[in-house]
Amino acid sequence: MGKNILVVADVRHQNVRQVTNEMIGAANELAQGGSVHVAVLGHEVNIPDLGAKGADDVWVVNDESLKNYTPSAYRKAVLEIYRQVNPQVILFAHSAVGKDLAPVVAMRLGLGQISDVTALDVSGDKPLFTRPIYAGKAFTKVTPKAEPYAVTIRPNNLQPYSGSAKTAQTHEVTVSFETPDLATVVREVVQKATGGVDLTEAKIIISGGRGVKSADGFAPLKELADVLGAAVGASRGACDAGYCDYALQIGQTGKVVTPDLYIACGISGAIQHLAGMSSSKVIVAINKDPEAPIFQVADYGIVGDLFEVVPLLTEEFKKVLV
């Protein structure tokens, strides 16, 4: 029998992020002929045609209290939609918001949770979710013990819905957000001017480590990133040395990324860095030390000085791309 699956859309700067399409893809597999419901929470969010992305129903809570994320307001909105949809599975993105919101909702509803899912197999009696353990050193497969349950999905890993477009029904939901309900009220969000492509959704990342030697040392990496339409990331070594902002840090205590192509420049490949990027689809390492551990996870390794290699790559890519 088909299931009801609820996807909580991942919204940033009033736009629905790509990982939402990947969650809807997973929801269609889990639903097995049932219904895929998508909750869009926020204030004046630009909502694309989610029917074309595989949604059967779209539940919208449009309220100023949801302009910026706060766990209390978002939890209230999700619980309201949850009551109406009564899903067997609820999916969140494994993003900054989803990682915070999923356990808050799961705890309130007494649900089990499977976090940071990178693959889904629905061929057996019960779905099998793959997730990393030991800081990404190994992967395990988990089956939920009971329904309903919550899941967070790592961006850039699952396939979006590829079936024919649906005509989604939209439901406007009104939730009253009284100030006493709200443990936290966000007054203002000050954006850091890191610019460029969003790291967690980027298809290509050029990352710099302590080997870039200075803030100016990131310049050739930025040029290559511009040519490839890539985001720039960093190791903690580079952040700690003050060469770049911590917003760029990738790894166990930074962002977890899964781009199609990850180019590591002057990064040694410490386990804590690998935890954030080792499931990238293709890894290229540029390092002047042939013994650097990054070469053990790299698909392609270039032993050389990044200040010679990176500009050469930029020139070659310019010939074919610009």
What residue ranges bind ligand FAD (CB under 6 A)? 209-211, 235-238, 249, 251-254, 266-268, 270, 272-273, 276, 286-289, 292, 305-307
Token pair listed for 233: 């990331």
DSSP string across 1-20: ---EEEEE--EETTEE-HHH
Q: How far is the CB of 317 from ligand FAD (least distance, A)?
A: 19
- For residue 177, count other CB atoms closer than 10 A to its CB: 18
User: Which residue number, 42 or 254, has a Cβ lying nearer to ligand FAD?
Assistant: 254
Task: Say if CB 7 and CB 36 are below 8 A apart.
Answer: yes
User: Which residue number, 175 or 257, has a Cβ lying nearer to ligand FAD?
Assistant: 257
d(CA 319, CA 98) in angstroms, rounded, equals 41
Q: How far is the CB of 127 from ligand FAD (least distance, A)?
A: 30
User: Which residue number, 26 or 263, has a Cβ lying nearer to ligand FAD?
Assistant: 263
316 in the Ramachandran plot: left (φ > 0), alpha (ψ -120 to 50) or beta? Answer: alpha
Q: How far is the CB of 243 from ligand FAD (least distance, A)?
A: 9
d(CA 139, CA 257) in angstroms, rounded, equals 16
d(CA 38, CA 51) in angstroms, rounded, equals 10
Q: How far is the CB of 240 from ligand FAD (least distance, A)?
A: 8
Q: How far is the CB of 209 from ligand FAD (least distance, A)?
A: 3
d(CA 49, CA 20) in angstroms, rounded, equals 12
Q: Give the pairing of strands 15-16 and 169-172.
A: unpaired
Q: How far is the CB of 115 from ligand FAD (least distance, A)?
A: 18
Q: How far is the CB of 46 from ligand FAD (least distance, A)?
A: 32
User: Which residue number, 82 or 243, has a Cβ lying nearer to ligand FAD?
Assistant: 243
CA atoms within 13 A on the CB side of 92: 26
Q: Which residues contact 290 (CB under 8 A, 6 or more apart)?
A: 303
User: Which residue number, 307 or 317, has a Cβ lying nearer to ligand FAD?
Assistant: 307
User: Which residue number, 90 or 277, has a Cβ lying nearer to ligand FAD?
Assistant: 277
User: Which residue number, 78 or 265, has a Cβ lying nearer to ligand FAD?
Assistant: 265
Task: Say if CB 62 and CB 45 are below 8 A apart.
Answer: yes
